[in-house]
A = this chain, B = another copy of it.
Amino acid sequence: MGPNSDRLDIHNSEVPLVCRSCEARHRGICGALDPRELTELASHTRRVHHEHGEELLEEAGEITAYATIIRGVVRLVKSLADGRRQLVGLQFAPDFLGRLFGKQNSVTAESVGPVDLCTIPRRALERMVTNYPTLGQRITSQVLRELDEARDWLVTVGQKSAPEKVASLLLLISTQADVSATDDDKNSVVFYLPLSRADIADYLGLTIETVSRQFTKLRTSGVIRVVNGRHVEVPDLSRLRELSG
């Protein structure tokens, strides 16, 4: 028994094993729960792994489960009838996936590289949200953040030039994705770019070729260094910020 066990329900005094080492535990929606509630939540969850390019949620598909991203990157995609695609969001751990109490999904969610999810059946989560309002508040505040991001992105896609768009995306990723190294004053970064040129093009409303040309320009002008097309080093973030419009 832990030192505090006398003050807590004896069956629920501990944080569940699966949650202890979980990176999403504090920053994700689970952070809204105390150990007893977390135990209840964890009794319904299941860890699942996905390889690159799998469909996690289907646009216009029925909602049967929700999930928290434990590791990896998820792209949200909308398509037109003739196949044109637009990425409408990028999500990283520990974001929540799924439209709470929604009738159906409004986007397709796909894994970008390997992704680990912590899934929970629809009913189980909805019951818990009803009983523990702080859980719903966490989800709501994520939705608000997504709305801000979508509107910011609308400015980028609607108003910026191709060079500005690519710089904006690199800036976005450098603050959100797996950052392998960042120097003290946060003015330089090295990161792995999870998106293909095609994804980037679909995110920015450009073509693959235009994106590639902009990368080349950024490379030759020394703003970025690229290894194997995917590992990007930005020696001077402020330079990138100027270019982002």
Chain B's nearest CB lies how many Å from the CB of A237? 17
Residues of chain B within 8 A of A85, CB atoms compared: 159
A196 at the interface (CB under 8 A from B): no
If the complex has contacts A80-B159, A133-B133, A148-B106, are A86 and B143 also in contact, measured as CB distance less than 8 A?
A: no
A78, A99, A204 pick with most chain B CB within 10 angstroms: A78
CA of A85 to CA of B155, assembled, Å = 8
Residues of chain B within 8 A of A88, CB atoms compared: 151, 154-155
Kindly supply a per-residue 1/0 record for chain A positions 78-93, scoring 1 wherever the CB is within 8 Å of any chain B CB and 0 otherwise: 1011101110110000
Residues of chain B within 8 A of A80, CB atoms compared: 155, 159-160, 245
CA of A86 to CA of B160, assembled, Å = 10
B147 and A84 form a contact (CB under 8 A): no
Residues in A76-112 with C-beta less than 8 Å from chain B: 76, 78, 80-82, 84-86, 88-89, 99, 102, 106-107
Count of identical protomers in the assembly: 2
Residues of chain B within 8 A of A238, CB atoms compared: none
Q: How many residues of A contact B (CB 8 A)?
A: 35
B155 and A99 form a contact (CB under 8 A): no
A140 at the interface (CB under 8 A from B): yes
Chain B's nearest CB lies how many Å from the CB of A211? 13
Among residues of B, the one whose C-beta sits closest to the C-beta of A156 is B86
Chain B's nearest CB lies how many Å from the CB of A124? 20
A150 at the interface (CB under 8 A from B): yes
User: Can you identify 26 A-B contacts, CB atoms within 8 angstroms?
Assistant: A76-B151, A78-B151, A80-B159, A80-B160, A80-B245, A81-B245, A82-B245, A84-B159, A84-B245, A85-B159, A86-B159, A88-B151, A88-B155, A89-B151, A106-B148, A107-B151, A133-B133, A143-B147, A147-B147, A150-B151, A150-B154, A153-B154, A157-B157, A157-B158, A158-B202, A158-B205
Knowing that A86-B159, A140-B140, A158-B204 touch, tell me 4 more A-B residue pairs with CB under 8 angstroms.
A80-B155, A150-B150, A150-B154, A157-B158
